[in-house]
Structure formats: structure tokens, C-alpha cells
Amino acid sequence: MATPEGKLRDKAMKYLRSIPDNYVRKISDSCNVGYPDIDGCYLGLAYYFELKSENGRLSKRQKYEIGKIQKAGGRAAVVSSLEQIKLWMFVWFGLKASGRRLTVSGTETRAADRPVL
């Protein structure tokens, strides 16, 4: 039987993989103790999600890893629902729930629509 975190991971990966030009992977290696469950890169910026059930708590190692990521300028969040993931993707990248970006003019765009510098 899937755990609450496992069910959230499956929903999160489906959503994150649906975003055009987004790289995402789930981390399930026991050698990466404390490392966030999901990492990805969008628009050249790294992001990380630690998945927790409603009553889940971060270990000291998880707090340490997330703190190091944030200190280095990475985007890291602890989430317990798909809605929270969608909210962070909006805050960090301007993504609507559909996975499309909003531009300054309010029109939708994809990362591939941007000029390469």
C-alpha cells in the first residue's frame, strides 16, 4: 500500500513532468539521506521539494540540506499537497496551475519561446 508521501510523489511527478521545458527527477536512493525527495530545473534555476505527510516532521539532516540549498540560492520547500507544489512553482517561476508561464503582459509563454542568451 502506498504511503501518503508516495501518493503525493506520484501526483507531483505527473504535474511537474507536464510542464514544458522542465527537468525533474525523484530521489529515492538511500545513499542520499536528508536530500529532498524531488529535484528539478526550470529556466536554468534549480528547485527542490521535500514531501511530507500532514503530520510529517523534518529530520535534522533534512533541515540542514534544505538550509544549504536555500543559502546557495536554490529554491527548496517542504510540501504536503499538490496544491502547495503548484503554489511554489507559481511563486518561483510564475507558472499557472496548467504549467504555463505568465509574461509581464499577462500572456502565456513557454521557456522555449525565450531567446537564448
Domain that holds residue 51: 4-113
Q: Is the pLDDT of residue 20 over 70?
A: yes
- The amino acid that residue 94 corresponds to is G
CA distance 17 to 24: 7
What is the rounded (10 degree) CA torsion for 7, 12, 15, 21?
-150
Number of independent structural domains in the chain: 1
Q: Is the pLDDT of residue 22 over 90?
A: yes
Q: Confidence class of residue 54 from pLDDT cuts 50, 70 and 90? A: confident
Whichever domain contains 103, its CATH number is 3.40.1350.10
pTM exceeding 0.85? no
Q: Is the pLDDT of residue 48 over 80?
A: yes
Q: Is the pLDDT of residue 106 over 80?
A: no
Q: Is the pLDDT of residue 57 over 60?
A: yes
Mode of pairing for the β-strands spanning 108-109 and 38-42:
unpaired
Query: 102 with 96: CB under 8 angstroms?
Result: yes
